[in-house]
Structure 1
């Protein structure tokens, strides 16, 4: 049985070829929603994920830093599905773990442009379609918004801005039927975390692992499916009276 929020149109998952995004795509498909996913460079990963999901999934190339690419992608999705009932932003970026004093201005500007302006490009193109469908936005964010982890400013700072944009959308667009929420991730055992651990095993060593475990109420890292289940809930009619919230999926890191 399909949730009423997913009957018309599709769930568009930006970054659906990544670790969290691909699990979101699978869980939305498991809920009988029609799913579309985007990729930036890795087309083959998107093709593989679409083939793994036991449903009809269309893939689209999207560069969210390019407003024309975003606009064209939305038009193509609307042409294929008729409408977009949910916009999930699960796009991840190759952001280095650096302390503030180590960051040069070009790196800072690049991250801010990719993260904040890239997100705004999605919102600028997507809001008119979400108004038509009375749809919702789910943004994959960071638990660092609640408790700052040293060395993570390049992830946390832009997401703090995006969080306030989401609250603004919730406040301003609620009258148009749009809801906007986010999920604040702790350490999730997939995707970007795996890459960071492989690239910098001197930072993510046994001492780091023990220190992180000491901050968690639930003594394990998160499963990507737990994030995906939360995204489906927030977008579904079961979360229909929830808007403007950032929901931590972090094992109690924020406590």
Structure 2
């Protein structure tokens, strides 16, 4: 097991039962951090993840939450603090399946759903956790963004646009909260063989032609794994990255270079 130097406490992962979020949780466990897995509907997956984390020898817990509900988010943060004593890192990995539609054909209902979960949800989580991080002398926030923030992929606006607001939020946190030893960084996620990608592939949204065209934009000519995203998150949350804040790391095989 690779053990990095973390502050005391747990990693709080919103969206920890998703395909990528689960991989991120696993990498934090492998690195020696306690983990609190937050989920909305995938209770069995969350509980399986907790069981696997405990088998790695770390403390782990599962917590149901609706990130659109401010009081529910506040309850979960208090619950996690009560169970783990301290939160050292908030990882934002929550989000709905992103329908691939042009901006012009995106309905207000779809857009509102993405904003409520991805953007307002993250702000609500950050708002609930910041006072605790300040009280504990610091910590970090890691956001799973989109590689499309650098090179906009057609039809992926329901992911890229809400996450772009989160990128600005992170820069604001880095600017204002550094005095409290709170860092904020983003991992820009490319095509990862998990979660949403596999679901949309099964539905035929991503077909062989789509994969061939996107591979042209990826120098490494292969898709990433959840562990690739997790490794970047673990580094940014660890004390080894104690002088890194307000930054983006694109884990996308070089997408758009």
Paired residue secondary structure (1:5): coil
Partners of 2:100 and 2:155 within 8 A in 1: yes
Question: Which residue number corresponds to residue 159 of structure 2?
Answer: 155
Paired residue secondary structure (1:179): strand
Superposed, 1:9-158 pairs within 5 Å as: 9-53=9-53, 54=55, 55-133=58-136, 134-158=138-162
* Cα distance, 1:178 vs structure 2: 0.2
* Cα distance, 1:30 vs structure 2: 1.1
Question: Which residue number corresponds to residue 194 of structure 1?
Answer: 198
Paired residue secondary structure (2:168): helix
Paired residue secondary structure (2:45): helix
Superposed, 1:208-247 pairs within 5 Å as: 208-247=210-249
User: How many matched pairs?
Assistant: 252
* Cα distance, 1:26 vs structure 2: 1.1
In structure 1, the gaps of 5 or more residues are: none
Partners of 1:70 and 1:122 within 8 A in 2: yes
* Cα distance, 1:18 vs structure 2: 1.1
Distance in 2 between residues matched to 1:29 and 1:211, nearest whole Å? 36
- Scaled by the length of structure 1, what TM-score is found? 0.95
* Cα distance, 1:74 vs structure 2: 0.5
Moved over 6 A (4+): none
- Scaled by the length of structure 2, what TM-score is found? 0.95
In structure 2, the gaps of 5 or more residues are: none
Q: Deviations over 1:127-170 (max 9, x none)?
A: 11121231000111100100010001111111111100000000
